[in-house]
A and B are shown apart, each in its own frame.
Chain A
Amino acid sequence: MLDARPRILSVGTANPPERYRQTEVLDRFKVDDPRIRSLFTSSHIQTRHLYMPPTGADGAPSETQGELLAKHLRGAMEIGPQAVDRCLGPAGVDVRAVDHLVCISTTGFLAPGLTAHLMKKMGFREDCSRADIVGMGCNAGLNGLNLSAAWAMANPGRYSLMVCIEICSAAYVFDGSMRTAIVNSLFGDGSAAVLLRASERDERAFAPKILGFNSHLIAPAIAAMRYDWDEEAGKFSFFLDRDIPYVVGANAEKPVKRLLDAHGLRRRHISHWLVHSGGKKVVDAIKYNVGLSDWDVRHTHSVLRDFGNLSSGSFLFSFQRLLDEGRVKRGDYGVMMTMGPGSTIETALIRW
């Protein structure tokens, strides 16, 4: 019988051209509060790609919410198409062959959504079906992958493309508080695209099959991660509770266990872990609660170090690095894991 489960045929990533060290960001905006400086420099992030805002007379960045939204779309239409090209190019698939498009973004709201803008800009077929997932946060890449995989499974032989586009530099408030400083020290801009298809023709390709998903909503922690309106600043503002690493850590085993149990697997059978680079503390919490080694989260750490938290597409940057490393063998299992607002943990099981 034909195994209808979709495979991840290709992945592509892109970032804005300009890259900044943490100290460069601080110096650019004349931040001299030692607590904020130490937050930036001790966060295990070395560099981030950002669409850097212009500075006002006092050295602080000055952008209105309107300007931020315009920057989101402008940035999205620069790095989104690059990620799509880098995904489709190596797979030898033309944009006109794509039948279903899912776009993920939390860093800007707009209608029509990014799918429509991407289709217009890149010349997708007019009958390509589409869905935008907006406002689901750092975990959303796996929510989108679930949708994209379900579509691919229901439509064997047809291409399903998912694109995460996050312009985090279009989603900040700069007010000298620790609340905003934490956010401003953490997030970076990036886009990642993955191409899926369920087809007998891909059976011989070295592409992992998506075997299943498992979700976990920590309802009591609904307010722990938020992106809501800051009346004073006149902008949307991220809020990250300091207990997030512990809340996520205490629940991390549950979806992983359900995911593996459903396939009769144990943690030792999983060769590759692709964990969202949320921040040093949350990755530590996952490590000690799921029982992962530093080796297991090596790409999670290196993506955090080089890019900061890229939100929804982050785990796909780790996936790209895993593929580039060339260690994956046929038959290997991998677990993808993302965490975000809800509070939520999303997981997926893949096998090469």
Chain B
Amino acid sequence: MYETIAFEEQGEVATLRLVRERINVKQLRELERVCDYLEDHATAKLLVLRGHSLGIDFADFDPREALDIHGFNKWEKLVARLERLSQATIALADGDCVGGGFQLMLACDLRWAVPGARFWFPEVHLGFLPGMATWRLARYVGLGHARRMVLTCEKIDGAAAVRYGLLDGTDPNLDHALATARAAFGPTHAVAITLARRLLIESSETGYEDALGNFLAAQHRAISQTAFLETLKKERGAT
């Protein structure tokens, strides 16, 4: 069914593995198909993204032709969709995450890696740009670190990534890391997760008054959901 990735859904957990080490058009299309499925049909409440990625595969592109800018736009749309899925998302890196691979990881809610994994954006050294990582990375680590990491293509290791808040932790055993991350999530209420995540993503570009309006609209949606009404019943029953 898929060639560049592997995807399976077991009960509440969907697992997406990056099989191909470099991102090509085919992998982009297959990732889009997975997002279609996760948005439309999945019963999973959690998506686990596993593997590593060495970034864009230039073998896929003809050096005699200019790269198509619309392809980059498609990639960014995919990352944004992944970032806003109704599932809670956990990234587990078993090796280096470079360029687009690093971006996929940044799009996930919780991020773990093996201690030896390294993370970097090589694009500026190659004469182009690391996608919307310029936008995403700066929000994670602040402009100072982001400038150095993007402009010097600095490779950071797991320990540094944890320090910057890019990783939640390192663990040589990723199954163990997954158990830790799942336990940390606890119950995953899709609506609460989607709305809280969206407000967080939008927080840095929204002034207080607008953010308050957004929050009230989102909160009204959250408290109208069965999940919250059940909580309310349970909490009231307990007192």
Chain B 214-226 interface 0/1 with A at a Cβ cutoff of 8 Å (1 = within): 1011101100100
Residue of A nearest to B35 (CB): A268
For A284, what are the chain B residues with a Cβ–Cβ distance below 8 Å?
Answer: 213-214, 216-217
Does residue A287 face the partner (Cβ distance < 8 Å to B)?
A: yes
Residue of B nearest to A294 (CB): B202
Does residue B62 face the partner (Cβ distance < 8 Å to A)?
A: no
Does residue A289 face the partner (Cβ distance < 8 Å to B)?
A: yes
For A266, what are the chain B residues with a Cβ–Cβ distance below 8 Å?
Answer: 39-40
Chain A 261-303 interface 0/1 with B at a Cβ cutoff of 8 Å (1 = within): 0000010100000000000110011011100000000000000
Q: How far is the CA of A289 from the CA of B219 in the complex (A)?
A: 10
> In chain B between 33 and 68, which residues have their CB closer than 8 angstroms to a CB of chain A?
39-40
For A287, what are the chain B residues with a Cβ–Cβ distance below 8 Å?
Answer: 214, 217
Say how far A223's CB is from chain B's closest CB, in angstroms. 20
For B3, what are the chain A residues with a Cβ–Cβ distance below 8 Å?
Answer: none
Interface residue count for A (Cβ, 8 Å)? 14
For A289, what are the chain B residues with a Cβ–Cβ distance below 8 Å?
Answer: 217, 221
Q: Say yes or no: B39 contacts A288, CB within 8 Å.
A: no
Does residue A245 face the partner (Cβ distance < 8 Å to B)?
A: yes
Interface residue count for B (Cβ, 8 Å)? 14
Interface of A: prevailing SS: helix
Q: How far is the CA of A12 from the CA of B195 in the complex (A)?
A: 38
Which listed residue (B40, B195, B209, B220) contacts A285, Cβ 8 A? B220
Say how far A46's CB is from chain B's closest CB, in angstroms. 15
> In chain B between 135 and 187, which residues have their CB closer than 8 angstroms to a CB of chain A?
none
Interface of B: prevailing SS: helix
Q: Could you write out 19 A-B pairs with CB less than 8 Å apart? A: A42-B209, A245-B217, A246-B217, A249-B217, A249-B220, A249-B221, A250-B220, A266-B40, A281-B213, A284-B214, A284-B216, A285-B220, A287-B214, A287-B217, A288-B198, A288-B217, A288-B221, A289-B217, A289-B221
Q: How far is the CA of A246 from the CA of B81 in the complex (A)?
A: 26
For B224, what are the chain A residues with a Cβ–Cβ distance below 8 Å?
Answer: 250
Q: How far is the CA of A295 from the CA of B146 in the complex (A)?
A: 26
Residue of B nearest to A245 (CB): B217
Most buried by A among B81, B195, B198, B216: B216
14 further interface pairs, Cβ-Cβ under 8 Å (given A284-B217, A289-B217): A246-B217, A249-B220, A268-B81, A280-B213, A281-B213, A284-B213, A285-B217, A285-B220, A287-B214, A288-B198, A288-B214, A288-B217, A288-B218, A288-B221
Residue of B nearest to A42 (CB): B209
Say how far A76's CB is from chain B's closest CB, in angstroms. 34
Q: How far is the CA of A173 from the CA of B78 in the complex (A)?
A: 51
Q: Say yes or no: B195 contacts A288, CB within 8 Å.
A: yes
Say how far B152's CB is from chain A's closest CB, in angstroms. 32
Say how far B227's CB is from chain A's closest CB, in angstroms. 15
For B221, what are the chain A residues with a Cβ–Cβ distance below 8 Å?
Answer: 249-250, 288-289
Chain B 71-96 interface 0/1 with A at a Cβ cutoff of 8 Å (1 = within): 00000000001000000000000000
A-B interface, 8 closest residue pairs, ranked by CB to CB distance from nearest: A284-B217, A288-B217, A285-B217, A288-B218, A246-B220, A284-B213, A250-B224, A289-B221
Most buried by B among A249, A285, A288: A288
Q: How far is the CA of A329 from the CA of B224 in the complex (A)?
A: 37
For A245, what are the chain B residues with a Cβ–Cβ distance below 8 Å?
Answer: 217
Q: How far is the CA of A153 from the CA of B221 in the complex (A)?
A: 38
Residue of A nearest to B40 (CB): A266
